[in-house]
């Protein structure tokens, strides 16, 4: 007998349109019980439409949505055993904190005594003790979002859906609530799907990340997998690998030779290279380091560069470094001067390398060929 636990939610072949425009093009993924999934993508990629389709607020063209094995795709939102926390809080301004949090329970005709106890427990859990009778219009943004979260959790949903709930908060409150929400999810054990455009938010909160592009899933994996092993140039750039250059690989007398186009560098030996021909390389700013000119190593490409700009965000310096026609971003604790010549070190094991493609090809086309 198969004892594999049912997925908290399994989405298969999900398609959705806006009028005559196709938005989602066949989405497939599953969320395990107690798992926190972040859906990450730029504006217009379809991530919010996907969340609203799961919640029942947007009609499907095709596909199934199974909540612990039960297909809920044809059910109205109130019958799906899910709850959603919105970016705008969506609280009733004329109600108190307790009335807002208990609203879903009241609609379900739950006994008043049970509602009161449930709300009391949630107020304590969410750090809102003493605010039960406060009007929500008198609360801070962080407190309002906690009330919205409490309202969602009050009905004991099998799945919690979060639509960029922290984006309206200031940086300090947003950072605090990230950890509070994640800790709360671990304590209560509910499965969650969190839509966000904030890469750091997804990386710090999610067990796995779904990166979407043009209505399709471009990659699914742990934060480490998606950051360290992007499947396409699109993923690499989206995860912050903004430094890029063209590399040409060839063999010469049994050695693997690599040259970096438009960087004023000689041929370099890459002992472990397995690539051939012209490739495109991407690397994250935090993987780039600065060193003295003339420094040699078998672990990295060392390019000749010159500091063209410097900023001090606190604790380290951020530099723009010109290497021929390329400009790279790098950070260092060393205070270099603008105009100073430096070596730019690009570790081989941090380079994301893909075949060169022309302007008529999209990154997703490259991704499709590589994973076919």
The string of pLDDT tens digits covering residues 289-318 is: 999 887 777 788 889 999 999 999 999 999
Same domain, 150 and 167: no
Asked whether the beta carbons of 38 and 205 are under 8 A apart, the reply is yes
The three-point CA angle 40-46-50 to 5° equals 90
In a domain, 234, yes or no: no
Q: Could you tell me which residues come within 8 angstroms of residue 109 by beta carbon, excluding any fewer than 6 positions away?
A: none
The single-letter DSSP state of residue 285 is G
Domain of residue 31, CATH code: 3.40.50.300
Q: Is residue 211 part of a domain?
A: yes
Q: Are residues 207 and 349 in the same domain?
A: no
Q: pLDDT over 70 for what percent of the chain?
A: 94
Last residue of a domain, one of 195, 229, 263: 229
User: Could you tell me if 60 and 196 lie in one domain?
Assistant: yes
Look at residue 363 and tell me whether its pLDDT is greater than 60: no
The C-alpha atoms of residue 30 and residue 265 are separated, in whole angstroms, by 47
Residue 35 DSSP class: -
**Do 70 and 102 share a domain, yes or no?**
no
- Asked if the model's pLDDT at residue 83 lies above 70, the reply is yes
The count of domains in the chain is: 3
- If asked whether residues 23 and 133 sit together in one domain, one would say no
Query: Where is the domain boundary, 208, 229, 250?
Result: 229
Which residues are registered as beta bridge partners of 258? 249, 268
In a domain, 236, yes or no: no
Determine, yes or no, domain membership for 251. Answer: yes
Kindly state whether residues 268 and 360 are assigned to the same domain. yes
Residue 278: CATH number of its domain: 2.40.50.100
In which band, very low, low, confident or very high, does the pLDDT at 265 lie, cut at 50, 70 and 90?
Answer: confident
Judge if 69 and 163 occupy the same domain.
yes
Q: With bands split at pLDDT 50, 70 and 90, how would you rate the model's confidence at 60?
A: very high
Domain-located, residue 134: yes
Question: Could you tell me if residue 181 is inside a domain?
Answer: yes
Asked whether residue 179 falls in the same domain as residue 201, the answer is: yes
Tokens of 15: 């398609």
For residue 166, is it within any domain?
yes
pLDDT greater at residue 340 or residue 273: 340
Indicate whether 150 and 179 sit together in one domain. Answer: no
Q: How confident is the model at residue 368 (pLDDT cuts 50, 70, 90)?
A: very low
Residues 56 and 200 in one domain: yes
Average pLDDT in the 64-79 region?
94
What domain range includes position 93? 88-154
pLDDT for residue 366 is more than 70 = no
Asked if pLDDT for residue 175 goes beyond 90, the answer is: no
Instruction: Show which of 154, 185, 212 is a domain's final residue.
Output: 154
User: How confident is the prediction for the chain on average, in pLDDT?
Assistant: 88
Classify 323 as helix, strand or coil: strand
- CA-nearest of 129, 112, 113, 181 to 152 is 181
Positions of E strands within the chain: 9-18, 21-31, 36-40, 62-67, 70-71, 82-85, 159-163, 191-196, 208-213, 216-221, 243-252, 255-260, 268-269, 277-283, 289-291, 300-311, 317-323, 326-332, 341-347, 352-355
- pLDDT of 21-59, one tens digit each? 999 999 999 999 999 999 999 888 999 999 999 999 999
Cα Dmax for the chain? 84
Q: What is d(CA 363, CA 31) in angstroms, rounded to the nearest whole number?
A: 27
Kindly list the distances between the CA atom of residue 13 and the CA atoms of 6, 25, 32, 62, in Å, as whole numbers in the listed order: 18, 8, 18, 7
Give the strand pairing for 159-163 and 191-196. parallel
Is the same domain home to 39 and 97? no
pLDDT level of residue 370 (50, 70, 90 thresholds): very low
The answer, as to whether pTM is greater than 0.75, is: yes
Question: Is residue 145 one of the residues assigned to a domain?
Answer: yes
Q: Are residues 60 and 123 in the same domain?
A: no
């Amino acid at each position: 007998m198969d004892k594999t636990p049912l997925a908290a939610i399994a989405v298969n072949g999900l398609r959705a349109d806006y009028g005559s425009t196709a938005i989602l093009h066949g989405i497939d993924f599953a969320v395990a019980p107690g798992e926190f999934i972040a859906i990450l993508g730029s504006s217009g990629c379809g991530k919010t439409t996907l969340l609203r389709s799961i919640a029942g607020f947007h009609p499907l063209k095709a596909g199934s949505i199974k909540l612990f094995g039960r297909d809920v795709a044809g059910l109205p939102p109130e019958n799906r055993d899910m709850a959603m926390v919105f970016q705008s809080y969506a609280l009733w301004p004329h109600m108190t904190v307790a009335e807002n949090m208990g609203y879903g329970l009241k609609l379900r005709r739950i006994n008043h005594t049970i509602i009161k106890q449930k709300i009391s427990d949630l107020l304590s859990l969410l750090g809102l003790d003493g605010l039960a009778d406060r009007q929500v219009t008198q609360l801070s943004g962080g407190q309002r979002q906690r009330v919205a979260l409490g309202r969602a959790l009050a009905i004991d949903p099998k799945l919690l859906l979060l639509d960029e709930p922290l984006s309206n908060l200031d940086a300090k409150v947003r950072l605090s609530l990230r950890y509070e929400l994640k800790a709360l999810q671990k304590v209560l054990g509910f499965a969650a799907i969190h839509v966000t455009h904030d890469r750091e938010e997804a990386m710090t909160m999610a067990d796995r990340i779904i990166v979407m592009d043009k209505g399709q899933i471009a990659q699914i994996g742990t934060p480490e997998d998606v950051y360290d092993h992007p499947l396409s140039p699109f993923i690499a750039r989206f995860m912050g690998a903004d430094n890029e250059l063209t590399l040409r690989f060839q063999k010469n007398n049994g050695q693997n030779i690599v040259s970096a186009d438009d960087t004023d560098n000689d041929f370099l030996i890459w002992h472990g290279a397995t690539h051939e021909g012209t490739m495109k390389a991407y690397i994250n700013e935090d993987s780039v380091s600065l060193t003295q000119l003339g420094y040699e190593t078998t672990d990295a490409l060392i390019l000749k560069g010159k500091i063209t700009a410097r900023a001090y965000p606190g604790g380290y310096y951020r530099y723009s470094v010109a290497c021929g026609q390329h400009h790279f971003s790098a950070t260092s604790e060393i205070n270099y001067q603008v105009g100073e010549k430096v070596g730019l070190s690009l570790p081989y094991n941090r380079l994301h390398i893909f075949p060169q493609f022309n302007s008529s090809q999209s990154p997703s086309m490259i991704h499709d060929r590589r994973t076919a």
